[in-house]
Amino acid sequence: MKIRSPKHRKFVASQPCIITGYQGERGVPHHLMRVDGTKGVGTKSCDRWCIPLEFSIHEALHNNGDEIAFFTNHGMPYERVMLKARCLAQQSPDKRIREINN
């Protein structure tokens, strides 16, 4: 089930970027591309799989295209990135996101 939650995305965007530590108005939620079977242009994973990125990092990631390699090259194994998304989901202000068991 793909839940869309503006409240959760706003919460994620307010957190420090997992790459740079930046926290501020340029923060954006990035939907992980290699989870829950979601792949392809124009498709997004459930909002539960959002992580905080600074806008320029988010743009660089999408320009790179290989999400796993991008995070690995920035010292973040993909398992750690997914764990961050899970932790944020558990803290979400949206009960629907907190209740997903993934």
Q: What is the pLDDT of residue 37?
A: 57
Q: What is the pLDDT of residue 53?
A: 97
Q: Which of 50, 16, 18 is nearest to 36 (CA)?
A: 50
pTM assigned to the model: 0.89
Q: What is the pLDDT of residue 100?
A: 86
Q: What is the pLDDT of residue 36?
A: 61
Q: What is the pLDDT of residue 85?
A: 96
Question: 3-class SS at 52?
Answer: strand
Q: What is the pLDDT of residue 44?
A: 81
Cβ neighbours of 42 (radius 10 Å): 4
Residues in the chain predicted with pLDDT less than 70, given as ranges, are: 36-42, 101-102
What the block records as the tokens of 52 is 């905080």
